Structure formats: structure tokens, C-alpha cells
Structure 1
Amino acid sequence: MTDMPTYPDLDGASVFITGGGSGIGAGLTEGFLRQGARVAFIGRSDASAFVSEMSEATGNTPLFIQGDITDIAGLRAAMDRAAEAHGPVTRLVNNAANDQRHDSLDVDEDFYRWSTDINFKSYFFACQHAVAGMRAGGYGHIVNFSSISYMMGNAGYALYTASNAAITGMTRSMAREFGPDGIRINALAPGWVLTRKQLDKWATPDGLAAHLDRQCLKTHLAPDDIVAPTLFLSSTASRMMTGQLMAVDGGVVVTG
């Protein structure tokens, strides 16, 4: 990870990231660590090897808390543990998600709950818990990851696109609700970022070519392309931005 901008206010900041041990989340963890932030992240899979890698690479060791973000009590406890270790959380990045493909006619209530619990419910309650602490300090920045998929009207994962539309709506409403408390809340909508999971599960030569044809910029997105915009939204460089949706997609969609 090179050529990242530096934001002095992130040095020493207490940051909590969901899904910070793999994919885009791993890039986010590294990016904040390189800013000098005190980073805690939650994830389901063991990330101890990644923690060691980051400690050696950045000279800054993240706190890994193993857990399931759909367990709201466990998520709150993880955020409290982060605050105990690093001071009150002043930056929250809701990144964890699952874009499992599904046919709408095949969805039952169990799958509905599973998908929306990961892709929306956890976001709401992470924001709720973070805001409670941020209000006490009169300061905080939240970045909620959405997706351009709902703006494109993509088929094949209706619950995922619906959840991302909901995240954007929630972000706008919470930004207005908690702006008077000094809390900024923005959404970031990545395009098709070619993580290992995407390459292994969903990417095909025809699909990649078709998506690249939609982009203004003819280069596929990588996880690092999402890190710098997240750092910007989490820093005072964006101090008068709140309730906004920033699309980082190579120019597939147009917002506004």
C-alpha cells in the first residue's frame, strides 16, 4: 500500500472496523494503521496471522476481536472492548457484508433474516452504539459501506441491493439526527472491487468485460482504491460533508 494521503487527525484516533481482516476490510485496517490510528476490528474467521502481518508491516498492531456482527450483543461488547483498549471510538467503519446471489422466488424467511441481519441490521446497531459514545464526546465520524448495485438495479441478489438502499437512507436520516451532536455520517458506495472472493465466486471473463465497458475509467477496482476515500471521509478533511453518498466505481453511476 503506497501513495496514500496523510491525515494528521487520524494519528492516534480510535477506529472500529467491521470485517477488517479480509478483502476490502483488510485494506482499510492497514490504511488506518499506517495513519497511526489505534484500530480494532471484528470478524468471524481467525485473523491472528493478519494481525502479525500488519504489526510487522506497519509497526502498529491492531486489536482483533473474533465475533459475528449479527450477534448484536456481541457486536456491542466488541465495540466496548475497543473503547477500553484504545479510548472512545471516534471513527466507525461499517464494512462487513455478504453479497450472496439468490433468486427472489427461492428466498425463505431464514435466508431473509440471514441476509438482512448481515447487510443492514448490524449496520444500524453498530451506528446506534457508536453514536452513544460519540455524543458524550461531541465528536465522531461514521462511514457506512453501501454499493452501487442498487443504483444499477442489478438482479440476482435483491435482498443485498435492498439492504444497501436502506443503508443509504439510514445514513442520511442519522446524519441529520446526530449532526447537532458533532457527529458526521456518510456512505461510501464501491463499484465492483475485485477481491479474492469476487474473483473466486462471481467474476467471469464476460462479466468483467461487460462491467469494465460500463466504467468511464477502464481499470478494474482493487481494494486499495477504496481505502483513500474512506480515510478522507473519516478525517477532518471532509469536515463539512455529512449525509452524503460517495460512489467510488470508476464512473459507472452518477449521483446527485
Structure 2
Amino acid sequence: MSSLPPAHASAEPLVAANGGQYPSLVDRAVLITGGATGIGESLVAHFAQQGARVGFVDIADAAAADLLGRLGEVRHTPVYAHCDLTDIDALRHAVDTLRASLGPISVLVNNAANDVRHAVDTVTSTSWDAGIAVNLKHQFFAAQAVIGDMKQLGGGSIINFGSISWKLKQGGMPVYTTSKAAVQGLTRSLARDFGPFNVRVNTIVPGWVMTDKQIRLWVDATSKDEIARGQCINRDLMPADIACMALFLAADDSRMCTAQDFVVDGGWV
């Protein structure tokens, strides 16, 4: 059995020490959803360190302020907007607000989600709709809100976030796994519709990432054994591992990659 991870994943540096540099990201306007904590905070930090103009939305105001205070010196200080993504009018308003600060959005990273556990017999019509809203619906409407910018710019990159959970037939959260399976269908349909405008749409499919939330709520000795058996590389999957893939997909280096799933899971699926 591998040892348990540290009590808080935030001990990990915000930016991977061995990360690559992507000159095409300098001054590019990047919108990140759910950017205050977990994978999101790593995304914000990595894009900011590339010299991008980063805007991010979340409902965790204190965590967003803390992140901005820890970033250090960057070319452009990221801009934060409070937004409940399940309110589509609020999402559209937040995009307009960030656009006013950043300029036309060139990269959208649809990271926000909530993988709260829930049993089948506890799901109601209301909780089903709420789960779809927080894990799937906003990804479409965020893309809809920025596609005009990308057409104006002559291209762009949309990065949706899926999950290996449904591929593993994981139980105990059916609304979440249904949403994450649907994300990959959304990616492929938008890739076809947006391709004529040189807009690429891809899915990052993370494995079990060792964020503070995961460690606090669900990672224990049993789950660590499960990870050790499942992953080909028996090391902790960290937020920076996901952020580094997002940098590649946002940059011109991946200019012919679209409608694809990029799995970052240590070889589990």
C-alpha cells in the first residue's frame, strides 16, 4: 500500500517546476470556471505564469482572494468575478465583466464541477436538475457566451472537463457520472460546429486528483489501495498534472487537436 498523501495538497507548489513554456499564450485572454480552489487554482496559476490574461469565476470569494495573494509576480494579475454558474444570466454577466477587463476571450477552460456523493434513492427531480446544472449545463452556455469572441479573433480553444469516474463504472454519484459522460458528447458536437471558425474543442479527462477537497472528504487507506491497483503509475495525481495538459490544449502547439479526449489519470482507464 502506498503512503497516504499529505494532509493538504496545497503544500504542492502552485506551478509545476518542470512545466513547459508556451509563447503563444502570452497576452492571450483565458477564462477559467471554478478557478478559486482545487484543480482550478492550479489552472489560474499556470496560465498566469505563462503571461496570459486570466479571468476566473467561482463562488468562493475568500479562496479566490487567497489565491491572488499567493500568485507572486506575473505579467498580468488575474481578474476574479463572483458567479454562481448554475445561474446562466449571472454567467453571461460575468463573461461580459471579464471581457471588459481582458479583451475578447481566446481560451475557455470549463473546469467547474461538484462531485458530491449521492445514492440513487436520494435523487429527486430537483436534485437531478441541480446536479446537471453544476456539472454540465454551464459548460455549454459558457461556450455559447465566448464563441463570438473566438470567431472575431479567428480561432480559439475550448477545454471541457470530464472524468474517468463513469468509465470506471463508479457508483454512488449517478447524476455526476451521467453529467461527465455527457461532457464528451458535448465536446464532439461543438468541435464540429465550431471547427469552421478555427475553434478547437477538447475534453480533459482527469483521474482521481489529490486536491484538498478529495483528501479531506474521500481519500483514505482503502481508496489509496484502489488507486495503487488501478493506476499504471503509482504516484499521486496532482492538480498541476492537469493544468499542464490544459496549457498544451490552449496553446497553438495543439492547433490540429480537436474533438478529442485527453486522459490524465496515471493509466487507470
Which AA in structure 2 matches 1:40?
G
Give the match for residue 112 of structure 2: 96
State whether structure 2 residue 76 is matched by structure 1 residue 60.
yes
Give the match for residue 19 of structure 1: 34
- How well do the aligned residues superpose, as a CA RMSD in angstroms? 1.0
Give the match for residue 103 of structure 2: 87
The 1-side partners of 2:92 and 2:205 are apart by 25
The 1-side partners of 2:219 and 2:130 are apart by 23
- TM-score of the superposition, structure 2-length normalised? 0.91
Give the match for residue 149 of structure 1: 165
Which of 179, 184, 187 is residue 163 of structure 1 equivalent to? Answer: 179
State whether structure 2 residue 129 is matched by structure 1 residue 135.
no
Give the match for residue 66 of structure 2: 49
Which AA in structure 2 matches 1:17?
I
Which of 46, 56, 71 is residue 31 of structure 1 equivalent to? Answer: 46
Structure 2 stretches lacking a partner, 5+ long: 1-14
Displacement over 2 Å in runs of 4+: 56-60
Q: Is the 8 A contact 1:212 1:220 kept in 2?
A: no
Give the match for residue 76 of structure 1: 92
How much does 1:52 deviate? 2.3
Q: What SS does the corresponding residue of 2:191 show, helix, strand or coil?
A: helix
Superposed CA deviations along residues 174-200 of structure 1, whole A, max 9, x for unmatched, are: 101110111000000000001000011
How much does 1:59 deviate? 5.3
* Higher RCO, 1 vs 2 (CA within 8 Å, ≥6 residues apart): 2
Aligned residues: 252
The 2-side partners of 1:61 and 1:132 are apart by 25
Q: Is the 8 A contact 1:30 1:58 kept in 2?
A: no
Q: Is the 8 A contact 2:227 2:234 kept in 1?
A: no
The 1-side partners of 2:175 and 2:228 are apart by 24
Give the match for residue 193 of structure 1: 209
Q: What SS does the corresponding residue of 1:152 show, helix, strand or coil?
A: coil
Give the match for residue 262 of structure 2: 246
